[in-house]
Chain A
């Protein structure tokens, strides 16, 4: 396998993605990711020097809305699914200051 994924990389990706894997999951994920990246490396066979990176297939642009208030008080609907709430706000563990 050309791409061997280190424990540090897995740790780092875990921080970025906010995922915590068990030891077994981590081992499996390392293998899977290595294999996937090997496969993705296939793209290197391709000369893409002349191609602009294409984000959107269609060249539409300037999709705007006008600066007009269209929404009323959405509070009740927005809070309906909150795992924890207090006084109309979403409750979360204390953020570090």
Chain B
């Protein structure tokens, strides 16, 4: 079997575009009415389980894989007109077939993973063989990959059943999922608000119980920020931990795939399943410490936690600040040492990030040209017009903006001033984190300056939107692991998330702290 065919899925899934929603039909109260209706129908109880709980019940025979899948598909049918978390939902027939196959393999003892049989949603920038993969872009509106991304393949080997592909900001460029070419996704907590982005579809799907867990990707906060906005847990692992093979690149040196789930335990288990050394990805790192679930310990005694003063400064919403400080207090009570400190260089992370990410993106997205796959303009005269028209029709405004910025900063005469300068800044930012982690086991802070903004508020001023990434992008520049753990809600009832940042390869420390936070929250 060819190298690239290893990710061949064992089943073929048909393609069905999910219903596009035009109006915001149900919000708030009406939503809960819908939920109640589904609950009465008897399908709901399964959906209340988290991924590991479901996995256990499937193993014990209490729930069948088919029941779980059908519950999800029913829930998707119910919720999608409102939430629109999916770009593509698999054909029911195919999902059922896959569910039966997995069920049989579990019964034979061929599948033993705690996630075997648990339905999952996959961000639409991860290639899935024979299942349309669009990056929420017009330019890939019809792209059906001939291979499966390594991370997804690892889940399939564990017995996952894919429900569909989730909506995202086009090519992961954005913080609201509003730049999708296939319509916005709404925040299940309040459908007038965005779910965050770019993994907004994945986070919304988990929050709306349209799946048991999801995969996302994080280039500058794209797992952590929407997790925060949607009140779910998400991990961006150390760069190189999860293979990028089959992840459609945005900023190659920054991109990482990670799990989004209802609980810290689910995320740890999923991360354990998707992480692997992959010889198809030159940036993959061989690690022997991928047993992340071993860190699910409710104990932070003696843990040294630093809170960067810059992360509590100007621009931070009062309620979010209060939540972070309250969480810090809880840690102290549990025996952790919590201190504020100066991380420094925080304000330089965003400009450095946008130079590097845009430069890489301008090159990574050059392959979308109407020659080999995806959209080709209908009318054109000659080669160059075909390129220009296909790309101009295929890409949305935010993607064009970043491609142009990236082309400019790499162009003759500007390379040193912009690109090299940004790479030097990156080195300094990494050093600043190294100094911090010489003192602390973990850094605590907010995942975003505010809770989820209203739909349509952010795109008006791109620069302002970029500034919302202030607490997340530095982590990607330094290749660090970080995660979001939910911590209550603001007065509007919107979720607030904490961000936990670890040193390279120290996922276990932040998982342990996040698990402790979760225990505190559940004990309330």
Instruction: Tell me which residues across on chain B come within 8 A of A51, comparing CB atoms.
Output: 424-425, 427-428, 431
Instruction: Tell me which residues across on chain A come within 8 A of B411, comparing CB atoms.
Output: 12-13, 16
Instruction: Tell me which residues across on chain B come within 8 A of A80, comparing CB atoms.
Output: 144, 146
Instruction: Tell me which residues across on chain B come within 8 A of A36, comparing CB atoms.
Output: 354, 401, 405, 462-463
User: What is the total of A-B residue contacts with beta carbons within 8 Å?
Assistant: 174
Distance between A77 CB and nearest chain B CB, rounded to angstroms: 4
Instruction: Tell me which residues across on chain A come within 8 A of B437, comparing CB atoms.
Output: none
Instruction: Tell me which residues across on chain B come within 8 A of A53, comparing CB atoms.
Output: 420, 423-424, 426-427
Do B373 and A58 touch (CB < 8 A)? no
- Of the listed stretches B186-194, B334-342, B345-353, B447-455, name the one at the interface; the rest are far from the partner chain: B345-353
Say yes or no: A19-B388 contact (C-beta < 8 A), given A52-B424, A54-B426, A71-B3.
yes
Say yes or no: A13-B380 contact (C-beta < 8 A), given A51-B427, A57-B479, A58-B239.
no
Say yes or no: A43-B388 contact (C-beta < 8 A), given A48-B425, A93-B382, A96-B383.
no
Do A81 and B3 touch (CB < 8 A)? no
Distance between A45 CB and nearest chain B CB, rounded to angstroms: 8
Closest to B350 in A: A39
Q: Which of A39, A42, A83 has the most CB of B within 10 A?
A: A83
Do B383 and A46 touch (CB < 8 A)? no
- Of the listed stretches B20-28, B108-116, B305-313, B390-398, name the one at the interface; the rest are far from the partner chain: B390-398
| Complex alpha-carbon distance, A8 and B312, angstroms | 43
Instruction: Tell me which residues across on chain B come within 8 A of A55, comparing CB atoms.
Output: 253, 423
Q: Tell me how many residues of A have a C-beta within 8 Å of chain B.
A: 56
Within 8 A of A (CB), among B449-470: 462-463, 466
- Let me know if B246 is at the binding interface, CB within 8 A: no
Do A46 and B462 touch (CB < 8 A)? no
A14-58 vs B, Cβ < 8 Å mask (1 yes, 0 no): 101111110001001100110111011111111010011111111
B475-494 vs A, Cβ < 8 Å mask (1 yes, 0 no): 00111000000000000000
Cross-interface CB contact of B373 among A13, A40, A60, A81, cutoff 8 Å: A81
- Let me know if B195 is at the binding interface, CB within 8 A: no
Distance between A46 CB and nearest chain B CB, rounded to angstroms: 6
- Let me know if B57 is at the binding interface, CB within 8 A: no
Do B397 and A83 touch (CB < 8 A)? no
- Let me know if A87 is at the binding interface, CB within 8 A: no
Do B285 and A65 touch (CB < 8 A)? no
Q: Is the interface of B mostly helix, strand, loop or mixed?
A: helix
| Complex alpha-carbon distance, A74 and B422, angstroms | 40
- Let me know if A94 is at the binding interface, CB within 8 A: yes
| Complex alpha-carbon distance, A93 and B382, angstroms | 5
| Complex alpha-carbon distance, A61 and B285, angstroms | 11
- Let me know if B403 is at the binding interface, CB within 8 A: yes
Instruction: Tell me which residues across on chain B come within 8 A of A29, comparing CB atoms.
Output: 400-401, 404
Q: Which of B2, B391, B408, B477 has the most CB of A within 10 A?
A: B408
Q: Could you say which interface size class chain B belongs to?
A: 35 or more
| Complex alpha-carbon distance, A96 and B352, angstroms | 39
Distance between B385 CB and nearest chain A CB, rounded to angstroms: 8
Do B427 and A54 touch (CB < 8 A)? yes
Do B372 and A81 touch (CB < 8 A)? yes
Within 8 A of A (CB), among B270-302: 279, 282-283, 285
- Let me know if B443 is at the binding interface, CB within 8 A: no
Do B425 and A77 touch (CB < 8 A)? no
Do A9 and B423 touch (CB < 8 A)? no
Closest to B505 in A: A58
| Complex alpha-carbon distance, A25 and B396, angstroms | 11
Cross-interface CB contact of B408 among A33, A56, A84, cutoff 8 Å: A33
A57-84 vs B, Cβ < 8 Å mask (1 yes, 0 no): 1101001010000111010011011111
Do A93 and B372 touch (CB < 8 A)? no
Say yes or no: A25-B397 contact (C-beta < 8 A), given A48-B428, A83-B376.
yes
- Let me know if A2 is at the binding interface, CB within 8 A: no
- Let me know if B386 is at the binding interface, CB within 8 A: yes
Do B407 and A16 touch (CB < 8 A)? yes
Do B144 and A40 touch (CB < 8 A)? no
Do A43 and B421 touch (CB < 8 A)? yes
Distance between B436 CB and nearest chain A CB, rounded to angstroms: 15
Q: Which residues of B contact A (CB under 8 A)?
A: 2-4, 142-144, 146-147, 239-240, 253, 279, 282-283, 285, 345, 347-348, 350-352, 354-355, 362, 366, 369-376, 380-384, 386-389, 391-392, 395, 397, 400-401, 403-405, 407-409, 411, 418, 420-428, 430-431, 462-463, 466, 477-479, 504
A-B residue pairs in contact (CB < 8 Å), sample of 19? A13-B407, A32-B401, A33-B404, A39-B466, A40-B409, A40-B418, A43-B351, A46-B348, A51-B427, A53-B426, A53-B427, A55-B423, A58-B285, A58-B504, A60-B283, A77-B146, A83-B375, A93-B383, A94-B383
Beyond A36-B405, A52-B427, 14 extra complex contacts between A and B, CB < 8 Å: A17-B362, A17-B404, A28-B397, A36-B463, A41-B351, A43-B351, A43-B425, A48-B421, A53-B427, A54-B426, A56-B253, A57-B478, A71-B2, A78-B146
